[in-house]
Amino acid sequence: MNLFDPFAQRSLTLPNRLVVSPMCQYSATDGLPDHWHLVHLGSRAVGGAALVITEASAVSAQGRITHGDAGLWNDAQVKAWKPIVQFVRASGAIAGMQLAHAGRKASAQRPWEGGGSLAADQQPWTTVAPSAIPFDAGWHTPQALDEAGIEQVVADFRATAQRALAAGFQLIELHAAHGYLLHQFLSPLSNQRTDRYGGSFENRSRIVREVITAVRDVWPAELPLWLRISATDWAEHGTGWDIDESVQLVKQVKPLGVDLIDVSSGGTLAHPKIPLGPGYQVPFAARIRREAEIATGAVGLITEAQQAQAIIANGEADVVLTARESLRDPYFPRRAAKELGVKLTPPVQYGRAW
């Protein structure tokens, strides 16, 4: 396999294996994307990425991280997303949406405003979680969801998947990573329930299976469904979610209709010790791909064309997702193609530059 080989999933074929990772822009109003999102996502489609995934888009107003988060919990948001999706697709990329609920990490300030919990004069809202445990000192203490609340979360994911289809998206990624609600249920650090949604691995992973099943019920069989997970909490051994449980989870969700695991890490602990380095999360993607026999995506400090090519050529992952590198260079796929001796057809408007 090579970085610029096509990658087929269900009825879709990605023209190459470079994907723009979901990156929050914190620039929406009442969940509505605007011109910023059109230019941000559209420029990366023009830049040659095979798939452009939206930022974590909330399945409910309560599920937003910040006031500036995009969402898809009403029809006005469907209408706002449509022209963005149309432009991405017209530019040769597949349009994907990441669906998310922030749980106890909701009701937060935008990063450039401090990033902590919203103060009393900043229009905070009630947060929810598996257990009434705040994310960190100074954060809101969330309400522990009862079973009716859990059922509502599952229903919200289902309804949002239907709206994503109506908006024209061709791929959904469910966000069960980075310490947000679904990950909060998975990790014993944030889930201390004693009912059927807590305690054992089977119980802690139940809501993830329920969300996948609910979304797959309304998401067309011919379209892919991806799942982003944190492979590890980077916690002391035996205390948090880890790679062994990640492999176990993936083996369970594959038969439910998940097509690819987007493998990240961290997010449950506010101050983890992470051994950062180029491609530091790639071994997790490689292990899940090998042991669970499912397609994976690698993400995390992947910044060079040869580095991305090696990940694919070595069979460590099936796609490479770039985040910060995509922010620095919307045309990273075109630059990578040139470095690897591959010709990407430019937009006709830019042909004179090639």
Point out the residues that are catalytic. 180
Tokens 């083996």 appear where?
251
DSSP secondary structure string for all residues of 208-219: HHHHHHHHHHHS
Contacts of 228 (CB under 8 A, 6+ apart): 22, 98, 173, 174, 175, 176, 177, 178, 261, 262, 263, 264
Query: What is d(CA 243, CA 273) in angstroms, rounded to the nearest whole number?
Result: 16
Tokens 């830019």 appear where?
350
Q: What distance lies between CA 307 and its chain's CA centroid?
A: 22
Per-residue DSSP letter, 347: P
Strand partners, 227: 174, 261
Residue type, 325: E
Strand partners, 225: 172
Query: What is d(CA 347, CA 91) in angstroms, rounded to the nearest whole number?
Result: 8
First to last CA, the chain: 26
Angle at 289 between CA 285 and CA 291, to 5 degrees: 115
Give the sign of the dihedral formed by CA 291, CA 295, CA 300, CA 303.
Answer: positive
Query: What is d(CA 105, CA 66) in angstroms, rounded to the nearest whole number?
Result: 9
Q: Where are the beta strands (DSSP E) in 6-110?
A: 7-9, 12-14, 18-20, 51-58, 94-100
Query: What is d(CA 70, CA 230) in angstroms, rounded to the nearest whole number?
Result: 22
Per-residue DSSP letter, 174: E
Contact (Cβ atoms closer than 8 angstroms) between residue 206 and residue 131: no
DSSP secondary structure string for all residues of 81-95: HHHHHHHHHHTT-EE
